[in-house]
Structure 1
Amino acid sequence: MNGQALLALRPDLRIIADHVAPGSRALDIGCGDGALMAALRDHAGVDARGIEIDAGNVASAVARGLSVVQGDADVDLAGYPSNAFDYAILSQTLQTTRAPDKVLDELLRIGGRAFVSFPNFAYWRVRASLLWGGRMPVTRTLPVAWYATPNIHHLTIDDFRAFLKARAIVTEGAWFLNGDRLTSEWAANFRAEHAVFLIRR
């Protein structure tokens, strides 16, 4: 994929874009303004579709010439047929859903594989904020105060791994980010701010 297009993407989206097979079909759930979809379409020939809850983001994505509908991941994924896509993508959205377990089931029903990225609430700076300050953290990756955050499920990398193991979901790939850079899997639950998983049944 074109290097400039990748550099313009958020770090977790860059990882996803780099690992979606050219010419495949992808559904981006919670696609925002469509930045990832546009990169996949323009530089990898991906048939990218999107669903987004925010009307302003839907308008921005449609203005890019993208196929995006307004919808809610918690209720509207049931309308998609099984195995309609090669990839279902859920980036920085899992922790905002009301029923993340059901949303993940839908992802794996709709797509042969699913990319899931999320902030790691066990990151050491988050732990330190709670331990030493006694307050919910506000960080670069969690920039909104507790009363205004859309995050309603505070999961960690180890929580997600345990969830996958309990449901016999296969991890095909996992990437861990500290800031904008990849970090190793070693102690990722403590050291990584973000995680990206590629999973399948």
Structure 2
Amino acid sequence: MSTRPLRPDLQRIADWITPDASVLDLGCGDGELLAWLARHKHTRNYGVEIDVDSVTACVEKGINVIHSDLESGLTQFEDGSFDFVVLSLTIQAMHNVEGILREMLRVGRTGLVTFPNFGYWENRWQIMIGRMPVSETIPYQWYNTPNIHFCTLYDFDGLLGKLGMRNTGRVVLNEGHEITVLPNLRGSLAVVRFEKV
């Protein structure tokens, strides 16, 4: 079993998750976060993933995983089934962002989301010089990107407010380092914890 450290954004999520909690990871990939949480915090975990190879990797790690498309919702889970629901680097590629945020807090008490911050100064600069942004957190060209929604830190907080939710914690990163001064300008990746108002 791998003992490599978690990506910085996943480590921030892991820091917020309490020992022995129940965790649902949406778009869980190969199960890296869930495997770490099970090993270090003894959490009870479920993953949802659309990619078959990633589902196989999860099963090989002993992770409970469901092969499903998040766009169809989370109807397989009852209200309040989880303490934490995670959506890491996936929200910007979803068609129904409002729907998935509502579903996260229907099935869980606390939501944890990571997303590229489009307000990051390098993104702004690339647009100013007439190019679509390409960066560490937005690594695709305009013609092959899976990303269909771009937002800033302020945009995301505004959406939470519209949905009757509130930001209960945020860490903004750039190249793995936490940014505390002018985070919407200097941070390329946001990690947000949120709950119902």
Q: TM-score range by the shorter chain?
A: over 0.9
How far apart are residue 165 of structure 1 and its match? 2.1
How far apart are residue 33 of structure 1 and its match? 0.5
The aligned residue for residue 107 of structure 1 is: 104
Alignment of 1:156-171 (within 5 A): 156-171=152-167
Q: What's the TM-score once normalised by structure 2's chain length?
A: 0.95
CA–CA distance in structure 2, aligned partners of residues 137 and 171 of structure 1? 27
State yes or no: 1:154 paired with 2:150.
Answer: yes
Alignment of 1:40-189 (within 5 A): 40-132=37-129, 134-184=130-180, 186-189=181-184
CA–CA distance in structure 1, aligned partners of residues 184 and 60 of structure 2? 39
CA–CA distance in structure 2, aligned partners of residues 183 and 189 of structure 1? 9
**Matching residue's letter, 1:109:** R
Report which of the two has the higher share of helix: 1
The aligned residue for residue 18 of structure 2 is: 21
Q: What's the secondary structure of 2:75's corresponding residue?
A: helix
| More deviation, 163-172/61-70 | 163-172
The aligned residue for residue 39 of structure 1 is: 36
CA–CA distance in structure 1, aligned partners of residues 43 and 183 of structure 2? 31
Q: What's the secondary structure of 2:57's corresponding residue?
A: helix
CA–CA distance in structure 2, aligned partners of residues 156 and 138 of structure 1? 16
Q: Deviations over 1:90-138 (max 9, x none)?
A: 0111111110000000000010001011000111001111111x11121
Give the count of matched residue pairs.
195
Instruction: Find runs of 4+ consecutive structure 1 residues off by over 4 angstroms.
Output: none
State yes or no: 1:30 paired with 2:18.
Answer: no
What residue ranges of structure 2 are gaps of 5+ in the alignment? none
What residue ranges of structure 1 are gaps of 5+ in the alignment? none
Which residue, 181, 189, 194 being the options, matches 2:189? 194
